[in-house]
Amino acid sequence: MSRKTHSIRPLLAGAFAATLLLSACGATSSSPTSSASPPAKSTSSKTFGTDATGVVHFWARSATAATAKLMVKEFNASHKHLKVVLTETAGGEAVTKLATAIRAGSPPDLIGLNDIDMPIFSHEGAFTNLTKYVDALPYKKSLSPGHLDLATYDGKYYGVPYLADLSVLWYNKKLFAEAHISSPPSTFANILADAKKVQALGHGDHGFSFAGDCEGCLAFTMLPDVWATRTHLISGSIPHQKATVKSNSALEQLLGLYHTIWAEHLYSPGDRTQDGTTWGANFLKGHIGIFPGDYGGIAAKLTKAQRSEYADVPLPGPDGSYSTFDGGDDFAIPTGAKNPSGAWEFVKFVLSRAQQLQYPSTGFTPVRTDLLTSSYKAAHPFDAVALKALARGYAPTTLAYNSIFNQPSGPWFAMFSEAVYQGKIKAALATGQSGFAQQISQSGSGS
């Protein structure tokens, strides 16, 4: 996801173009294993990713460049036999630029790709089958399940988690204390009751805030509330997916919660037109009680004084439990990469404990849950919440994600608007069901 807006409007056309470009390459979804295996000379599990030489060309998104630059700098300083050369790709160009390079036969050796876009490429056989190398990682069981699912196609791994950009529920401890709220919200009922108490304080304080005109922001922060119940809006695997919207009880309760917040004016002024460009700025001013947002975007902007006044918790389901949106990036090695062994050596370096522990300094979360120790919690209390949620995180593995969730005219935002702003929740669910189903079918994700 984009750190700034968690919306991929510019990438929507790029994703569609990428599918066309990859199809034109002759890559087919029916044979990804044969078309996406490392060169024969590099397939030995004992030598692949060890003592490689030469140069690794690594493309990373500008949104996650801070982490990429740090990792490349430290790798090059400690690996004299192998050099990683970093190229940044702009958010609106990353998908089409990669697809064009693959089609031209000149892909990078390694890509750090927005994880939600992984299925576009793995489904077309454009990435290397890394299954046996991922399985050999001693910490595989602690890797982000959501990121790994997005890198999986037909039971095989075509990528591995790289970095996490996760959604959490922030709250203002100072306002909670003034409103005599003793604990953070852990259910929908808590959120509503706490928002009302903060709103009642007056003095320009508001109970809740959301990005009312940013479909990507809303998906990033609302969908985990549904996933906390272990239910989803898209079920099944590509190409047999179906929409499961109309009968989703958790979704109906969530839309009801947001409608009540809207109808009872418990939100911050400007929320209705917030398109993500200044998302979270109002919360940081100290007059918002509850704010669903991202860990890194808020934590990085807190002053020393504010760090004692704010806290975060996982995004809750209707009656408890929790989840997070597994945003961030996956690593992938494109088919035809010239130095796949060198690329995998760099990947293993980045996934090592010492490197992962540096992620909070760049505004992101590690992708290894085994790092959640008492010392990590003490050093990174805000990110520890996100890392805890990572084990229950999720993101939909579908070719239809961008067309459903990341365009203003898509069925997700249409459903949200009808339910929240108009109060027509049942009708919105029916509209959402048909809209989701149409996009799933058109994308080739299902019938």
Which pLDDT does position 45 carry in this prediction?
66
Which pLDDT does position 400 carry in this prediction?
97
Q: Output the domain CATH number for residue 371.
A: 3.40.190.10
In tens, the pLDDT along 282-304 reads: 999 999 999 999 999 999 999 99
State which residues form the domain around 417. Answer: 166-325+398-443
Same domain (yes/no): 108, 235: no
194 domain residue, yes or no: yes
143 domain residue, yes or no: yes
349 domain residue, yes or no: yes
439 domain residue, yes or no: yes
Domain count, the chain: 2
**What's the pTM?**
0.91
Q: Which residues pair with 331 in a beta bridge?
A: 112, 160
In tens, the pLDDT along 160-199 reads: 999 999 999 999 999 999 999 999 999 999 999 999 999 9
Same domain (yes/no): 337, 416: no
Q: Are 245 and 425 in contact (CB under 8 A)?
A: no
142 domain residue, yes or no: yes
Same domain (yes/no): 264, 411: yes
Same domain (yes/no): 147, 92: yes
Same domain (yes/no): 361, 261: no
What is the C-alpha to C-alpha distance for residues 370 and 411, in angstroms, rounded to an integer? 37
Q: Are 102 and 126 in contact (CB under 8 A)?
A: yes
For 47, 216, 415, 443, the CA distances from 282, given in Å and listed in that order, are: 52, 18, 26, 37
Residue 252 token pair: 């109906």
Same domain (yes/no): 120, 46: yes
Which pLDDT does position 18 carry in this prediction?
54
Residue 309: Cβ-neighbour burial (10 angstroms; 0-12, 13-18, 19+)? middle
Strands 315-317, 54-61: pairing kind: unpaired
In tens, the pLDDT along 135-152 reads: 999 999 999 999 999 999
Same domain (yes/no): 17, 156: yes
Residue type, 18: A
Same domain (yes/no): 38, 93: yes
Same domain (yes/no): 89, 15: yes
What is the C-alpha to C-alpha distance for residues 125 and 37, in angstroms, rounded to an integer? 9
1 domain residue, yes or no: no
3 domain residue, yes or no: no
Same domain (yes/no): 17, 94: yes
Average pLDDT over residues 361-365: 96
Same domain (yes/no): 223, 304: yes
Same domain (yes/no): 158, 191: no
Q: Which has the closest alpha carbon to 436: 387, 382, 388, 398?
A: 398
4 domain residue, yes or no: no
Average pLDDT over residues 335-360: 98
